[in-house]
Amino acid sequence: MTPKRPKLEPIYPTLFEMENLEKGRPNKKMRGSDSSRRLSPALMFGVALVLRAGGAQGAETPIPHGTLELVAENQWVTPGHDFSLGLHFQLEKGWHIYWVNPGDSGEPLRVTWQLPPGLSPGVIEWPAPRRLGTSRIVDFGYENAVTLIVPMHADSSLAAQPLARLGAEIKVLICREMCIPGKTELSLALPVKSQRPAPDPRTRDLFAATRKELPRPAPQNWKFSVDDAGDSFVLAANVTPQITQAIFFPLAEAQIDNSAPQILLPLAPGFRLTLRKSDRLLKPIERLKGVLVLSGNHAYLIDVPVIKRGARRSNSGSGIQEIQYSMGGT
């Protein structure tokens, strides 16, 4: 699960500012001058953390109960070539951060970029999350270590320069039994060169491992359907491999009951997964979008039109008609 990564060296200049908003808790780990305290979470993981040398170099920025590092996949930025940055979190045991849909509680991180003209961020690529919680309250998030990849667009007009400063203000909620909001500023200085992009060997394994965890589009020959069955949605698929495990993570909040067990019925071929609707879902939905994690931790992005139960029987036409029916009904 934890991506293998090279031993950490002070790769990039990092600025940080932490803010612990929790009432009555002095900001020991974040702002304290005692560097051993600041290092303790990382040391608990046995991570080789290199101290900032005169403020010019840094590796991981402390966040409550963990560290965060802004990393680049390439050694430099090439005008006209898009590239990827990574937000690499390492969390103390038991602590977690949230997926884009956090589930019943919590919130996903928010990033505000400060970028030179010519650079613009894309949408965060979120690895498949895990269900975290109890029988009553279930959140979607990540424990231990996770890297969020942020695609960046580099305009061809970007001027070559020795060091371009890429800054990000991160607001992130870190929770175990309780939640602590963290705020930090990261920055990374990368040269801008006209030379072809070259991967940075220090982050190659990290990005490769992270990409393996990203949900991918389902194979084209897999057919999905979603029935609106009153109290639940029934997600069916004709997948050929034997499915013994399936967990669905909805992209939108308040569509399914996050804490309800998801009932898997293996079929030959395929399966049916029954998802209890959220009590807060008062209107029909047109499509069910999310990440489906199947046996073997294979994660797929799915986006399936929702069909009212009964529509199928009364409407014996093609799939297209079924889709039209469901869209007309909402």
Partner 1 sequence: MKRSTLHTMLVAVVICTAPLLVLAARVGQAAPDFTATASIGKAFRLSDYRGKYVVLEWHNNGCPYVGKHYRSGNMQRLQKQWTGQGVVWFTIISSAPGKQGYVTATEENEYLAKMQAAPTAALLDPTGEIGHLYDAKTSPQMVVINPQGIVIYDGAIDDRPTTDLSDIAGATNYVNLALEQAMAGKQVQTPTTRPYGCSVKYPDSTH
Per CB under 8 A, residues contacting partner 1 are: 21-23, 96, 104-107, 110, 132-137, 139, 171, 173, 175-181, 253-254, 279-280, 282
CB of 294 to partner 1, least distance (A): 25
**Residue 62 vs 108, nearer CB to partner 1:** 108
CA distance readout (Å), 312 to 124, 234, 273, 286, 309: 37, 13, 18, 15, 7
Least distance from partner 1 to the Cβ atom of residue 283, Å: 11
Backbone angles phi, psi at 43, to 5 degrees: -65, -30
Contact partners, residue 281, CB within 8 Å, separation at least 6: 254, 255, 256
Give the shortest CB-14-to-partner 1 separation in angstroms. 24
- Whether residue 246 contacts residue 131, with contact meaning beta carbons closer than 8 Å, is answered with no
Nearer to partner 1, 14 or 101 (CB): 101
Give residue for tokens 């607001």. Answer: 171
Q: Which CB, 98 or 248, lies closer to partner 1?
A: 98
User: Which distant-in-sequence residues (6+ apart) come within 8 Å of 37 by Cβ?
Assistant: 28, 29
Give min distance, CB of 291 to partner 1, in A: 18
| CA-to-CA separations, 283 to 69, 229, 302, 312, 330, in angstroms, rounded | 41, 14, 21, 20, 8
Question: What distances in angstroms separate CA 186 from CA 16, 212, 218, one per listed residue?
Answer: 6, 25, 35
Which tokens sit at 205?
Answer: 């394994």
DSSP conformational letter for 255: S
Three state DSSP letters for 145-178: EEEEEEEEEECCCCCCEEEEEEEEEEEEEEECCC
Residue 108: its H or E element: none
CB of 253 to partner 1, least distance (A): 5
Nearer to partner 1, 7 or 177 (CB): 177
| Nearest-approach distance from CB 141 to partner 1, in angstroms | 9
Q: Which token pair is 181?
A: 């909001």
> In this complex, which beta carbon is closest to partner 1, that of residue 31 or of residue 52?
31
Query: Measured from the CB atom, is 135 or 156 closer to partner 1?
Result: 135
Query: Smallest gap, in angstroms, from Cβ of residue 27 to partner 1?
Result: 13
Between 53 and 178, name the residue whose CB sits nearer to partner 1.
178
